[in-house]
Amino acid sequence: MAANMYRVGDYVYFENSSSNPYLVRRIEELNKTANGNVEAKVVCLFRRRDISSSLNSLADSNAREFEEESKQPSVSEQQRHQLKHRELFLSRQFESLPATHIRGKCSVTLLNETDILSQYLDKEDCFFYSLVFDPVQKTLLADQGEIRVGCKYQAEIPERLAEGESDNRNQQKMEMKVWDPDNPLTDRQIDQFLVVARAVGTFARALDCSSSIRQPSLHMSAAAASRDITLFHAMDTLQRNGYDLAKAMSTLVPQGGPVLCRDEMEEWSASEAMLFEEALEKYGKDFNDIRQDFLPWKSLASIVQFYYMWKTTDRYIQQKRLKAAEADSKLKQVYIPTYTKPNPNQIISVGSKPGMNGAGFQKGLTCESCHTTQSAQWYAWGPPNMQCRLCASCWIYWKKYGGLKTPTQLEGAARSVTEPHSRGHMSRPEAQSLSPYTTSANRAKLLAKNRQTFLLQTTKLTRIARRMCRDILQPRRAARRPYAPINANAIKAECSIRLPKAAKTPLKIHPLVRLPLATIVKELAAQAPLKPKTPRGTKTPINRNQLTPNRGLAGIVGKRAYESVSAAGLWKVAGGGLPFSANGRPMTSGMRSSTQPAIKRQKLNPADAPNPVVFVATKDTRALRKALSHLEMRRAARRPNLPLKVKSVLPLRPVAAPLVPVPPAHPASTSEPIILED
């Protein structure tokens, strides 16, 4: 009954996800909603997995300094790994959560220099904190509630003087005497002088305009004059005048008028007092934040002095009564029964009722944390495609402490989204997506097809296990079924048993007969796609007018097409050579130019494009490459969009008439006017 009773101030576990670890929170209030449910206003505490990597490095440096200063005993790597799960970071962030999501109690304490870190591992549900995390500013600061214990925080006490030895130090520089208890005045004379000082203070407030506005009535002025500031002023006056009542009386009322002494309660206005009460309700007794956010024009000493004077007023008593009444109306405690519903990540065994994650898991898998093969219950953990699982004890450890008992690569494999990726580990489409010349639409298409790449790097033990345990691994069968998981732990365990025996006998190496290079080239050439044969029949006649267009008419009507300009320029410069396109094939009349009507072509989607693209060389392109010099080859590679200008090296097909360029009907340059007739 007591274990399920939760009160204000308890540290508890909250569950917001079935697969994620519990949230550690401190209950501040328990409120009952209109529909009858109970909500808890809690303070957020964060784990190491909830903060960035830069703040984690800062926390590591703070932990190393703490270990050096407190002289902590050495711990193992596994204990150091588990201590990071016990460290929390306090914050000032509040949130409201349903009380039905509470899953148990825990203990959170402030880390002290006298504590031993290894003791936290011996206690169940025990955490510690030493830094405060700001979720808005993303900063880590030391907690101000630290108890300063040690020689560097204590005062150095000088040695005691011997009897009869005089103190040669200057007492006026060290301290100032404000009252002498062995004075010649009696207690009655002192009380009478204090009454006179109060009367002078009341008269001074009556003469002051600002005080008469704040204390319009006589009894308010008399109450203000009876405060400690007036009594301190009267006793200081007696001390300065050598406890002579006549001189002290004249000092109270100098020539200019009575002396007015006011404290912080009178100096502060009503609006400033309201701001102070509002800040005190929000921050408590954190006077630095009160001054920074609400009263920056006040000094810290003034705020502290006003606080202790404000506690003596009726206003403080009224607020205390209101808070007590609100606390009585709120819930003090709530009973939450033990949560007994099955977890959705629970793996249902074969033969029982099929569950959410029961299918697809192999019996030979081990626990990712403790590597055990036997457990009363198994739970799915990590990405679904990895098919990792935890045993019952490691699952409870994961839910409570937010990590695994032993450090694994899978636990820290998740990389922050904000960290920039290295282009060296990207595929070609991913690297193109980061290019500034790639549009957002093409970038989305490129990333839609490609998936995240990964690298498998084998160790020496893995390579040895492949040879030693071929009967268990069955590499040919595993290669045909790459989606089926392999129990690597069982293979390594069997390899460690067989390895001492197999080390005496050398491994049999079967020589691999490789074919010569010429045979491989012939097979590749045979498998290459053949050049499409031209249909039998009459050859397509060459349109000579298309090769030599009317430049005079085209220069007036508009710009010529790129293909027509290139063909004419090539014919004139090459001196009888054939024009070639960018891929080295001769231009024929069957190729469409921009002057011909556009034919609707099928647009290829970049996501559906084949990767990689293979270009098959023909006899013509190979002959063309031989005719090109090294300089021309490099120039053509730098500018693949320009046509090649080379002499004809290919055997020309027999034609009916020689290809002679027809002179243009209208020369490009003429002095006669050109007349266009309809």
3-state secondary structure 272-304: HHHHHHHHHHHHCCCHHHHHHHCCCCCCHHHHH
- Asked whether the beta carbons of 264 and 233 are under 8 A apart, the reply is no
Q: What is the pLDDT of residues 190-237, one digit of tens each?
A: 999 888 888 888 888 777 766 666 666 666 777 777 777 888 888 899
Helices (H), 295-412: 300-310, 314-329, 392-401
Say what the pLDDT of residue 425 is. Answer: 40
What DSSP line would sit under 528-581, residue for residue?
SPPPPPPPSSSPPPP-HHHHS--HHHHHHHSPPPHHHHHHHHHHHHHTSPPPB-
* Nearest of 113, 118, 45 to residue 80 by alpha carbon: 118
Q: Is it the case that residue 151 has pLDDT exceeding 50?
A: yes
Say what the pLDDT of residue 49 is. Answer: 92
Residues 6 or more apart in contact with residue 608 via CB below 8 angstroms: 449
Q: Is it the case that residue 175 has pLDDT exceeding 60?
A: yes
Q: What is the pLDDT of residues 262-292, one digit of tens each?
A: 877 777 888 888 899 899 888 888 888 899 8
Q: Is it the case that residue 497 has pLDDT exceeding 90?
A: no
**647 vs 450, 572, 578, 631, CA distance in Å?**
45, 11, 7, 16
Section 622-641 average pLDDT = 83
Residues 6 or more apart in contact with residue 358 via CB below 8 angstroms: 347, 348, 349, 350, 352
Give dist(CA 353, CA 359) in Å, integer: 11
Mode of pairing for the β-strands spanning 388-391 and 378-381 = antiparallel
Output the average pLDDT for the chain: 74
Say what the pLDDT of residue 508 is. Answer: 65
Q: Is it the case that residue 495 has pLDDT exceeding 90?
A: no
- Asked whether the beta carbons of 442 and 434 are under 8 A apart, the reply is no
Question: Which phi and psi (to 5°) does residue 330 adopt?
Answer: -85, 165
Span of 136-140, 289-293, 536-540, 548-552 with lowest mean pLDDT: 548-552
Q: What is the pLDDT of residues 405-436, one digit of tens each?
A: 887 755 544 333 333 333 344 444 444 444 44
- Asked whether the beta carbons of 416 and 54 are under 8 A apart, the reply is no
Section 378-384 average pLDDT = 87
Say how far residue 456 (Cα) sits from the centre of its chain.
Answer: 27
Mode of pairing for the β-strands spanning 5-7 and 333-335 = antiparallel
Say what the pLDDT of residue 286 is. Answer: 87
Say what the pLDDT of residue 214 is. Answer: 65
Q: Is it the case that residue 338 has pLDDT exceeding 60?
A: yes
Say what the pLDDT of residue 421 is. Answer: 39
Span of 111-125, 222-236, 519-533, 573-587 with lowest mean pLDDT: 573-587
Share in percent of the chain as helix, strand, coil (round to 5): 40, 10, 50
> Could you tell me the pLDDT band of residue 172, with boundaries at 50, 70 and 90?
confident
Specify which of 159-163, 206-210, 293-297, 646-650 reaches the highest per-range mean pLDDT: 293-297
Question: Which phi and psi (to 5°) does residue 212 adopt?
Answer: -70, -25
* Nearest of 136, 33, 158 to residue 91 by alpha carbon: 136
Specify which of 153-157, 309-313, 395-399, 555-559 reaches the highest per-range mean pLDDT: 395-399
- Asked whether the beta carbons of 406 and 81 are under 8 A apart, the reply is yes
* Nearest of 295, 236, 237, 227 to residue 262 by alpha carbon: 227
Residues 6 or more apart in contact with residue 565 via CB below 8 angstroms: none
Report the percent of the chain where pLDDT is more than 70.
68
Higher pLDDT: 238 or 606? It is 238
> Could you tell me the pLDDT band of residue 127, with boundaries at 50, 70 and 90?
very high
Mode of pairing for the β-strands spanning 38-46 and 126-134 = unpaired
Specify which of 406-420, 553-567, 621-635 reaches the highest per-range mean pLDDT: 621-635
Q: b/e per residue, 446-468, with b = 16+ CB within 10 A?
A: beeeeeeeeeeeeeeeeebbeeb
Span of 250-254, 366-370, 424-428 with lowest mean pLDDT: 424-428
Say what the pLDDT of residue 645 is. Answer: 73
Specify the DSSP class assigned to residue 137: T
**599 vs 587, 592, 593, 595, 596, CA distance in Å?**
18, 9, 11, 12, 9
Say what the pLDDT of residue 323 is. Answer: 81
| CA distance from start to end of the chain | 108
**254 vs 208, 250, 404, 425, CA distance in Å?**
16, 6, 79, 87
* Nearest of 89, 25, 91 to residue 63 by alpha carbon: 89
> Could you tell me the pLDDT band of residue 105, with boundaries at 50, 70 and 90?
very high
Section 584-597 average pLDDT = 47
- Asked whether the beta carbons of 529 and 616 are under 8 A apart, the reply is yes
Say what the pLDDT of residue 548 is. Answer: 43
* Nearest of 152, 85, 149, 148 to residue 120 by alpha carbon: 85
Q: Is it the case that residue 107 has pLDDT exceeding 90?
A: yes
Section 449-457 average pLDDT = 58
Say what the pLDDT of residue 373 is. Answer: 86
Give dist(CA 291, CA 277) in Å, integer: 12
Higher pLDDT: 571 or 368? It is 368
Give dist(CA 666, CA 539) in Å, integer: 31
Specify which of 124-128, 238-242, 566-570 reaches the highest per-range mean pLDDT: 124-128
Q: Is it the case that residue 484 has pLDDT exceeding 70?
A: yes
Residues 6 or more apart in contact with residue 614 via CB below 8 angstroms: none
Say what the pLDDT of residue 314 is. Answer: 83
Say what the pLDDT of residue 27 is. Answer: 93
Section 530-547 average pLDDT = 49
Q: Is it the case that residue 96 has pLDDT exceeding 50?
A: yes
Residue 286, token pair as written in the block: 């954190």
Section 46-51 average pLDDT = 93
Higher pLDDT: 70 or 145? It is 70
**390 vs 126, 387, 493, CA distance in Å?**
22, 10, 20
Count of other CB atoms within 10 angstroms of residue 438: 15
Q: Is it the case that residue 355 has pLDDT exceeding 60?
A: no
Higher pLDDT: 591 or 315? It is 315
**241 vs 247, 323, 661, CA distance in Å?**
6, 49, 129
Say what the pLDDT of residue 349 is. Answer: 60
Specify which residues 388 forms β-bridges with.
381
Section 236-245 average pLDDT = 89
Say what the pLDDT of residue 551 is. Answer: 43
Say what the pLDDT of residue 534 is. Answer: 52
- Asked whether the beta carbons of 335 and 4 are under 8 A apart, the reply is yes
Section 500-515 average pLDDT = 70
Say what the pLDDT of residue 259 is. Answer: 80
The torsion angle over the Cα atoms of residues 115, 10, 283 and 316, rounded to 10 degrees, is -120
Residue 383, token pair as written in the block: 């990405």
Higher pLDDT: 581 or 473? It is 473
> Could you tell me the pLDDT band of residue 501, with boundaries at 50, 70 and 90?
confident
Q: Is it the case that residue 565 has pLDDT exceeding 50?
A: no
Q: Is it the case that residue 577 has pLDDT exceeding 80?
A: no
Give dist(CA 658, CA 670) in Å, integer: 29
Give dist(CA 644, CA 634) in Å, integer: 12
Sign of CA dihedral 565, 655, 580, 603: positive
Section 141-147 average pLDDT = 65
* Nearest of 368, 348, 370 to residue 360 by alpha carbon: 348
Q: Is it the case that residue 588 has pLDDT exceeding 50?
A: no
Say what the pLDDT of residue 445 is. Answer: 40
Give dist(CA 308, CA 311) in Å, integer: 5
- The verdict on whether omega for the bond into residue 612 sits within 30 degrees of 0, i.e. cis, is yes
Higher pLDDT: 533 or 466? It is 466
| Geometric angle at alpha carbon 271, from 265 and 276, rounded to 5° | 65
Residues 6 or more apart in contact with residue 617 via CB below 8 angstroms: none
CA gyration radius, the chain: 46
Count of other CB atoms within 10 angstroms of residue 485: 14
Span of 144-158, 477-491, 625-639 with lowest mean pLDDT: 144-158
Give dist(CA 268, CA 303) in Å, integer: 10
Q: Is it the case that residue 563 has pLDDT exceeding 60?
A: no
**393 vs 135, 317, 362, 372, 497, CA distance in Å?**
32, 53, 20, 11, 29
Section 72-96 average pLDDT = 91
